[in-house]
Structure 1
Amino acid sequence: MVLRESPTVETLTVLLVVFLAQSVAAVVGVEGYLFALAPPLLARPWTLVTNVYAHGSVPHLVGNGVALGAIGLAVERATTRVRFHVFFLLTGVLAAVVQVLIDGLVGAPTAVLGASGAVFGLVGYAVTGNALVHRLVRRLRPDRTTLLAVGAFVVGAVVLVTAAPNVALVAHGVGFGAGLMAGHRRTLHAGSGRRLADRR
Structure 2
Amino acid sequence: MRLSRSPTIQTLIVFCVVYALQSVIRLVSPALMVSLFALSPPVAVRPWTLPLSVYAHINFGHLLSNAIALLFAGLLIERVTTRFRFHAYFLTVGIVAGVAQIWIGGLFSMTTPAVLGASGAVFGLFGYLIAGNPVADAVLGKLRLSRRAQIAVVFGLALLATLMTASPGVALIAHFTGFAVGLIAGRLHILRVETQATSNDRAVQ
Q: Same fold (TM over 0.5)?
A: yes
One-letter code aligned to 1:71: A
The residue number in structure 1 matching 2:40 is 38
The Cα offsets for residues 9-34 of structure 1, whole Å up to 9 and x where unpaired, read as: 00000001100000011122121121
Q: Give 1:94's match in structure 2, choosing from 89, 93, 96.
A: 96
Aligned residue pairs total 194
Relative to 1, partners in 2 of residues 1:193 and 1:131: Cα closer, same or farther, differing over 3 Å? farther
Query: What per-residue deviation string (whole Å, max 9, x for no partner) do you get for residues 144-196 of structure 1?
Result: 111111111111111111000000000000000000000000000012289xx
Is 1:77 aligned to 2:79, yes or no?
A: yes
Q: 2:10 corresponds to which residue?
A: 10
What residue identity is the alignment partner of 1:42?
A
Identify the residue that residue 128 of structure 1 maps to in structure 2.
Answer: 131
- Structure number with bigger Rg: 2
| SS at 2:43 equivalent | coil
2:140 aligned with 1:165:
no
Correspondent of 2:114 among 111, 115, 119: 111
Report runs of 4+ in structure 1 exceeding 3 Å deviation: none
| Distance change in 2, residues 1:173/1:193 (3 Å) | farther
Unmatched tracts of structure 2, length 5 or more: 198-205
For residue 14 of structure 1, what is the amino acid of its counterpart?
Answer: V
Deviation at 1:49, TM superposition (A): 0.6
Q: List alignment gaps of at least 5 residues for structure 1.
A: 195-200
Q: CA RMSD in A?
A: 1.2
**One-letter amino acid of the structure 1 residue matched with residue 65 of structure 2:** G
Q: 1:145 aligns with which of 145, 148, 152?
A: 148
Q: TM-score, normalized by length of structure 2? A: 0.92
Find the aligned partners of 1:109 and 1:34 in 2 and give their Cα distance.
16
TM-score normalized with structure 1 length:
0.94
The corresponding residue for 1:197 is none
Identity of aligned residues (%): 46
- DSSP 3-state at the match of 2:170: coil
